[in-house]
Amino acid sequence: MASGADTPRHAHLGDRAFAAGITLLGGAVLLVVGIIVVACARLSAPAFAKLGFFRFLTGSDWNPVEDSFGALPFIYGTLVTSAIAIVVAMPVAIGLALFLTEMSPSRVRRFVSFFVEILAAIPSVVFGLWGLMVLVPILRDVVEPALQHRLGFLPLFQGAPMGIGFLPAGIVLAIMILPTIASVTIEVLRTMPAALREGALALGATRWEAIGAVVLPYARRGIMGAVILGLARALGETMAVTMLIGNQPEIHGSLFAAGYSLPSVIANEFAEASGAVHTGALAGLALVLFGVTLMLSASARLLVRLSARRLVAA
């Protein structure tokens, strides 16, 4: 306790009550996680009982009418769109973070940080609307035909360019996770002692050489944490993906094809789910999503923290 003067013996009744009250409120955070797990597990129990956990995860048929539920197409779609998002967002976000912390004057930094904050504050559904009305026509009429023309021999770029599918969903996801990756990377780079960077510069390194030799090796773990946090956000992002991915529970190799993602199928079918098994299967997908994002966020936070602790030790 910050006061330090009060030992428990002499503590006022008010102090004890206050301490108990805030400890209870702090404990409520733990309770919330418990509630999430129990609620999802209870809802999904009928589905797991009927289908079996492993068969549910690996099955590729999703047919509510016949009570046949396999999660594979959704897992596939989630992974493909998230992979596109990471590949697109990571270099841009890290470049942006490096520019703001290492290269730009502070006035530019404040200006750009302000806009990155706004980007992070725009709701998912607005990105979905923008993707549907702006991005999809551009992809359908310009980008996808061009990709097909040049790289059509790759299985990634085959099939009719529809505009809707894995590609637009992945690109909008990239835009949405960019602020996450950038802001955590900036946070990590800021914790680096200036002396290290200045040492490299004093030895005659150019700015970029200082980044390559000192900054990036130093911040590597933290940046990896930032990217994993971005990945966790991409996996669970719902609205924009639901509006752009095409909502077909199928597995296709082409990025132009329509697919489905874990959050999207929950969003589309949960309200009208027929019976306990269908609801249960959807809640089971939520449980899988919760487990994966929980593990990713936890490991990312540990990485960021490790990166910061090394600084204290140095």
Residues 5-44 contacting another protein, CB under 8 A = 5-6, 11-12, 14-15, 17-19, 21-30, 32-33, 35-36, 39-40, 42-43
Q: How near is the Cβ of 13 to another protein at its closest, in Å?
A: 9
Which residues, in sequence order, are bridge partners of residue 62? 69
Phi-psi map region of 142: left, alpha, beta (phi>0 left; psi -120 to 50 alpha) = alpha
Q: How near is the Cβ of 265 to another protein at its closest, in Å?
A: 10
Please report, as a single letter, which amino acid is at residue 289.
L
Question: CA 304, CA 220: separation in Å to the nearest integer?
Answer: 9
Q: Residue from 155, 212, 253, 275 that binds another protein (CB under 8 A)?
A: 212
User: Which DSSP string corresponds to 134-200?
Assistant: IIHHHIIIIIHHHHHHHHTTSGGG-S---S-SHHHHHHHHHHHHHHHHHHHHHHHHHTS-HHHHHHH
Q: What residues numbered 243-262 form the site for another protein, per CB under 8 A? A: 243
Contact between residue 63 and residue 51 where contact means Cβ atoms under 8 Å apart: no
Q: Residue from 47, 80, 182, 188 that binds another protein (CB under 8 A)?
A: 182
Looking at beta carbons only, is 42 or 55 nearer to another protein?
Answer: 42
What is the chain's length? 314
Question: CA 300, CA 284: separation in Å to the nearest integer?
Answer: 24
Q: How near is the Cβ of 67 to another protein at its closest, in Å?
A: 19
Q: What residues numbered 139-158 form the site for another protein, per CB under 8 A? A: none
Q: What residues numbered 85-114 form the site for another protein, per CB under 8 A? A: 91-96, 98-100, 103, 112
Q: Counting contacts by CB under 8 A, is residue 1 touching another protein? A: yes
Q: What residues numbered 263-292 form the site for another protein, per CB under 8 A? A: 263, 266-267, 270-271, 282-283, 286, 289-290
Q: Residue from 84, 239, 255, 277 that binds another protein (CB under 8 A)?
A: 239
